[in-house]
């Protein structure tokens, strides 16, 4: 089965292109500056210096797995992650080894990086609505050379928190079926990234994937997964 978060990063390896609507035309310059500043604030956060706990859940064609993991800053990457719980129980030594191996592989591949400046073209914002507390913006996605099969088939919305001045949520969905890789067809996709602001820094709150389709033309893809982050604490890098 294809890796769910690989698909997420592929789908978000984008540049966005939007235009201002008449309703926000006079304020477009100010809004653009606010979004640009929100992106800067997110990207300057020293994420490797924050300890946190993450609860992961995955339902893949009815096969449910869950875990609780903990990250603590450390210059030794082998000492950063701990597996606290797996499927509601204490993980075995074999499961611990598999967990650390997966973390080493993901860190080498940089699979979990998310850089908003590589996703959002600040010249492209299209006003959707002002809810009073948030401004919502629509955007179309132009996928990179790594997923040309999705060209024009994805669209998204971001939600900007006016009071706290940060991008609180990004949602990406598909408009049509698309093929992010050979022999895989995605019929339904929804990616949700939620963020939280703590002491003037922006951190992940939750990321969620809902996906349906076919792999190798006959294997069903029906997946829901989400990672929820909590217990953030700023910790200077330790040896």
Instruction: Please write the tens of the pLDDT for every residue from 193-232.
Output: 999 999 889 999 999 999 998 887 778 888 999 999 999 9
The full set of domain ranges for the chain reads 4-234
Phi and psi for 87 in degrees, rounded to 5?
55, 40
Q: Specify the DSSP class assigned to residue 103.
A: H
Q: Residue 148: what pLDDT?
A: 52
Question: In the predicted model, is pLDDT for residue 238 greater than 60?
Answer: no
Q: Residue 18: what pLDDT?
A: 31
Q: Specify the DSSP class assigned to residue 89.
A: B
pLDDT digits (tens, 9 = 90+) for 50-101: 999 999 999 998 899 999 999 999 888 888 999 999 999 999 999 999 999 8
CB 222 within 8 A of CB 61: yes
Task: Give the start-end residues of each E strand in 61-200.
Answer: 63-71, 81-86, 126-130, 134-143, 154-161, 166-174, 178-181, 184-198
Q: 10 Å Cβ neighbour count for 14?
A: 22
pTM (2 d.p.): 0.81
Q: Residue 14: what pLDDT?
A: 35
Q: Residue 209: what pLDDT?
A: 94
Question: In the predicted model, is pLDDT for residue 2 greater than 60?
Answer: no
Question: In the predicted model, is pLDDT for residue 132 greater than 50?
Answer: yes
């Amino acid at each position: 089965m294809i890796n769910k978060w690989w698909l997420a990063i592929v789908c978000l390896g984008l540049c966005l292109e939007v235009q201002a609507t008449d309703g926000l035309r006079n304020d477009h310059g100010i809004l653009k500056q606010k979004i640009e500043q929100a992106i800067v604030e997110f990207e300057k956060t020293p994420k490797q210096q924050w300890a946190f706990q993450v609860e992961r859940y995955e339902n893949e064609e009815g096969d449910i797995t869950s875990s609780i993991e903990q990250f603590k800053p450390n210059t030794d990457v082998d000492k950063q992650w701990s597996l606290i719980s797996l499927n509601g129980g204490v993980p075995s030594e074999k499961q611990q080894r598999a967990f650390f191996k997966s973390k080493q592989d993901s860190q080498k591949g940089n699979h979990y990086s998310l850089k908003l400046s590589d996703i959002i073209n600040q010249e492209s914002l299209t006003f959707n609505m002002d809810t009073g507390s948030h401004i919502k913006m629509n955007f179309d996605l132009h996928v990179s050379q790594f997923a040309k099969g999705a060209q024009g088939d994805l669209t998204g919305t971001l939600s900007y928190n006016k009071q706290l001045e940060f991008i609180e949520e990004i949602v990406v969905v598909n408009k049509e079926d698309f093929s992010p890789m050979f022999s895989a067809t995605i019929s339904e996709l929804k990616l949700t990234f939620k963020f939280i602001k703590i002491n003037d820094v922006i951190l992940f709150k939750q990321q969620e994937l809902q996906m349906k389709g076919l792999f190798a033309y006959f294997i069903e893809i029906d997946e829901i997964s989400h990672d929820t982050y909590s217990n953030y604490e700023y910790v200077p890098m330790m040896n």
